[in-house]
Amino acid sequence: MNRLHDHQSFTAWRDACRALECARPCRILVCAGAACLYAGAKYVKEEFRRLAAAHPELSVNMEPDDGVYRTGCQGFCARGPLVRIRKGEREIQYMNVHTRDCAEIVEKSVLGDEVVERLLFADGASACERAGDIPFYARQTRRILDDMAERDVRSIGGYAASGGLDALEKALFSMTPAEVVDAVDASGLRGRGGGGFSTGFKWRAVADAPGTEKYVVCNGDEGDPGAFLDGAIMEGDPYRLIEGMLLAGYAVGASRGFVYVRDEYPISIRRLNDAIGRLEALGLLGEDILGSGFSFRLTVYRGAGAFVCGEESALVNSLEGRRGMPRIKPPYLATEGFHGLPTLVNNVETYANVPFIVTHGAQAYRALGTPGCPGTKIYSLSGAVRYPGLVEVPLGTTLREIVFGIGGGMPEGSTFKAVLVGGPTGRCLTERHLDIPFDFDTAAANDAIVGSGGIIVLDQTSSMVEMSQYLMAYSCRESCGKCTPCRIGTTRMLEILKRLNTRRALPGDLEQLEQTAVYVRDRAFCGLGKSAPLMVLSTLEDFREEYEALCRREEEA
């Protein structure tokens, strides 16, 4: 791999990559997302590679040279391992593929023009050959997810061939740093990791902060039970994330960046480090990138897995080697962050949106979503739903469309009860909330948060008091202990919930639970503490009878 020293060598290399990619006679796209790997995708890929070795006509001189791709998550996690065949204009989406199926797929669909019918998606009378004909995919707008489902996760050439690095080229050679900040601000992009704070405002604050030493940090500390979208992006599209951080570094004047990833994501850590090494070897990370004068170094930092480190100031404390506890604000990280220097912190999905904005412009980005919340949002859909997986839709899409339209609704024998949004510190939304256009603003108006994008569907078998206990135990365990309302309040609420679920409730427990929840919500220091009681408060509002039933003495029940 020759190092690229200037703009001319970059464009020549990229054009060569595109020509080689177009020359491929066939692509075998094997999903390497976590769910498919656990279902055996690694062995499926190895079997396809063994079979492809006997057919040199499938090879081109670019990774993967045998045409067997290890892609990012293809989304339909319920039906893995997933395999997609692209041959000319034809696309075939196979599901539940195992090693015993590979030879037949190669014979019929790669070397021939037939379809293995039994491996197609079928929900009713007819089977769907193309992914775009399957309702799970057809009802989404996959601006980010479609790209990573079509590329090999390791191939930097494949990333460049599909339009990757175009944004970096445009920024370095056609835009000033201030123009990049203006584009992000005009796009209306809001932080995808919590309450939806303006990304452009953050970038401008760091860019305007005095000093020449600044930092860009990616919050990859995804710790919510039921949320797996940031991990999927880091595993499946590491180059897009890194390009977003490069653009951020250029825009705000930073020459050093960190990707903070919890230690429980070993695949993400491995693939990010591999991508960083390849970009450095090519001259697209490091000193004087493409002769532009812009330098940027990137390091992956392994976090210890504390949920509170999802809060940006706690994350920066951890990055400095200190205990992960939220800081008093002001001063804000934009002026005094990592080692007291201006620091920009955004989450994985936020950075992943930036290349599109720089390449296509703010107005193209705003074409989807709502005026106040433009763009798409990725959700991790799980629980009592027929088709769990990764879902990408424009902000403002209703929960009914996500759960029943894309997710296929409830499994046979189940009835909808509620949906938990926002993770362990989120709240339950019920039937009356399903038709609300869901975005950051409407979530806040209903005392909910979008959070990390986890959506867990609950059916009639779910006990809301047991669910509240489970989530409160998580919040209690993950509390950093800095403030008394969170440290003591979550402990007291957990004690009451345990008594309720074992039918040992004391007189006044229900009232004490509600009062404590309100106190913690209003008095806790950081977002973790303030939102920890939301599940209790929302279920007391909509399912109070379940709590009251557990307050009765066993002999009365």
The CA distance from 478 to 324, in Å, is 11
Using CA atoms in the order 154, 156, 158, 160, what is the torsion angle rounded to 10 degrees?
150
Is residue 253 within 8 A of residue 213, CB to CB? The reply is no
Fold of 382-459: Ubiquitin-like (UB roll) (3.10.20)
The CA distance from 312 to 306, in Å, is 12
Nearest to 205 by CA among 350, 346, 343: 343
The domain covering 18-134 belongs, at the CATH homologous superfamily level, to Glutaredoxin (3.40.30.10)
Residue 126 burial (CB count, 10 A): 9
Residue with token string 């309450």: 195
Domain locations in the chain? 18-134, 164-365, 382-459, 464-551
Give, for all 557 residues of the chain, the pLDDT tens digit. 689 999 999 999 999 999 988 888 899 999 999 899 999 999 999 999 999 988 887 776 667 777 899 999 999 999 999 999 999 889 999 999 999 999 999 999 999 999 999 999 997 767 999 999 999 999 999 999 999 999 999 999 999 999 999 999 999 999 999 999 999 999 999 999 877 899 999 999 999 999 999 999 999 988 777 888 999 999 999 999 999 999 999 999 999 999 999 988 999 999 999 999 999 999 999 999 999 999 999 999 999 878 888 889 999 999 999 998 999 899 999 999 999 999 999 999 999 999 999 999 999 999 999 999 999 999 999 999 999 999 999 999 999 999 999 999 999 999 999 999 988 888 999 999 999 999 999 999 998 888 889 999 999 999 999 999 999 999 999 888 889 999 999 999 999 999 999 999 999 999 999 999 999 999 999 888 898 999 999 999 999 999 999 987 544 54
Is residue 433 within 8 A of residue 459, CB to CB? The reply is no
Instruction: Using DSSP bridges, classify how beta strands 27-31 and 83-87 pair: parallel, antiparallel or unpaired.
Output: antiparallel
Give the three-class secondary structure for 301. Answer: strand
Residue with token string 């054009």: 15
CA 216 to centroid of chain Cα atoms: 19
- By the 10 Å C-beta count (0-12 exposed, 13-18 middle, 19+ buried), 89 is classed as exposed
Give the three-class secondary structure for 457. Answer: strand
The CATH classification number of 464-551 equals: 1.20.1440.230
Q: Which CATH class for the 164-365 domain?
A: alpha beta
The angle subtended at Cα 216 by Cα 343 and Cα 231, nearest 5°, is: 125
- By the 10 Å C-beta count (0-12 exposed, 13-18 middle, 19+ buried), 512 is classed as middle
The CA distance from 478 to 189, in Å, is 30
- By the 10 Å C-beta count (0-12 exposed, 13-18 middle, 19+ buried), 344 is classed as buried
Token reading at 61: 């001189």
Nearest to 479 by CA among 240, 310, 247: 310
